[in-house]
Amino acid sequence: MRVALFVPCYVDQLRPEVGVAALDLLEEQGVAVDYPPAQGCCGQPFLNAGARDAARRLAARWVHVFAGYDFVVTPSGSCAAMLRGHLPRLVETPEAGALASRTRELCEFLVEDLGVASLPGRRAGRVALHASCHALRELRLGSPSETREPPRRDPARVLLEGLDGLELVPLSRPDECCGFGGLFAVEEEAVSCRMGLDRLGDHRAAGAEWVTSTDVSCLLHLDGLARRHGLPLRALHVAELLASREAP
C-alpha cells in the first residue's frame, strides 16, 4: 500500500508539528508514508474565493504530484473535503476523480481504512472536540445536527473517546461553525471574531482545557482569539493530542 502524506500549505509553514504528529501516528500503525516534496496547495483558498482558474491549475498540479498513490492522507478535514468533493469537478480527468476518492482525512484513514478502534496509552486532559464544518458536512465524518440521516461515526471522536485518561466534554452547540472560513476571517472580521469567541465560550462553559479539531485553520483562529482575550483555553490538533500520549 503506497500512502502519501499531504501537508497543507498553512500547516507546513505555521504548525509543522501537526504534520510530524500525523506522520508519527501513521508510522506507528506500520504504514510506510511518502512525503512528496513537490507537493503544494490543493487550490481550496482560490476555489472559495471564486478564482476557479487558479484553483484548477493548483488542483491539476496536485493531481500530478499525488497520482499513483493508493491513498493520500492529510491532517485537514477541509483540504480533504476540497479534494474529495470539488477536485473531480475542477479537474475533469479520470485520474483526478480516482485520486479524489482515495483522499482521506487523517482520523478517517486510521479508523475507516486501517480499522484502528483505539490507540494504546494515556493522555490526561479535559478536551472538547470542535467539529470542522468541512469534515462534518462535506466529508460526512459524523452526523450533522441538522440532519436525521442514519448516524455516522466521527473518526476523530472515536479515537479521542478510546484514549485512556482523556475526558471528552460535550458542547451545547455540537457543530456550530467557529467563524474561520478562510478569507471570510478577514473579509467579515467582526462576525468571524464574534463567532469564534462564542465558540470558545461554549468550550469554557463545558469546562474544557483544550480545543481540538481535525483542522489547523479553525484552531489558528480559535487559539489567536483565546490568547488575545486571555482565555484559559489552548488549541491542539487531534493528531498532536493523539501522538502526544504516554506509552502504556
**What is the nearest approach in angstroms of another protein to the Cβ of residue 247?**
20
Is there binding between residue 28 and another protein (CB under 8 A)?
Answer: no
Nearest one of 46, 45, 86 to 63, comparing CA atoms? 86
Nearer to another protein (CB atom), residue 206 or residue 220: 220
| DSSP letters spanning 140-175 | --S--TT--SPP---HHHHHHHTSEEEEEPPPSSTT
Is there binding between residue 31 and another protein (CB under 8 A)?
Answer: no
Q: What whole-number distance in Å separates Cα of residue 22 and Cα of residue 19? A: 5
Residues 102-141 that bind another protein (CB under 8 A): 133-134, 137-138
Is there binding between residue 68 and another protein (CB under 8 A)?
Answer: no
Residue 76, C-alpha cell as written in the block: 485537514
Is there binding between residue 88 and another protein (CB under 8 A)?
Answer: no
Number of chain residues interacting with another protein (CB under 8 A): 71
Residues 3-22 that bind another protein (CB under 8 A): 7, 9, 11-20
Nearer to another protein (CB atom), residue 10 or residue 164: 10
Helix H or strand E segment including 87: helix 87-90
Q: What whole-number distance in Å separates Cα of residue 27 and Cα of residue 29? A: 5
Residues 216-235 that bind another protein (CB under 8 A): 220-221, 223-225, 227-228
**What is the nearest approach in angstroms of another protein to the Cβ of residue 130?**
12
Nearer to another protein (CB atom), residue 155 or residue 181: 181
Could you give the string, one character per residue 147-186, with x where binding to another protein holds by CB under 8 A and - elsewhere? xxx-----------------------x-xxx-xxxxxxxx
| DSSP letters spanning 17-85 | HHHHHHHHHHHHTT--EE--TT----SHHHHHHT-HHHHHHHHHHHHHHHTT-SEEEES-HHHHHIIII
Nearest one of 157, 156, 119, 161 to 245, comparing CA atoms? 119
**What is the nearest approach in angstroms of another protein to the Cβ of residue 116?**
23
Q: With left for phi above 0 and alpha for psi between -120 and 50, is residue 182 left, alpha or beta?
A: left
Q: What whole-number distance in Å separates Cα of residue 101 and Cα of residue 187? A: 32
Q: What whole-number distance in Å separates Cα of residue 80 and Cα of residue 96? A: 13
Is there binding between residue 244 and another protein (CB under 8 A)?
Answer: no
Are 24 and 243 in contact, with CB atoms under 8 Å apart?
yes
Nearer to another protein (CB atom), residue 164 or residue 184: 184
Residues 33-62 that bind another protein (CB under 8 A): 35, 37-41, 45-52, 54, 57-58, 61
Nearer to another protein (CB atom), residue 1 or residue 38: 38
Are 239 and 75 in contact, with CB atoms under 8 Å apart?
yes
Could you give the string, one character per residue 189-218, with x where binding to another protein holds by CB under 8 A and - elsewhere? xxxxxxxx-x--------------------
Nearer to another protein (CB atom), residue 16 or residue 207: 16
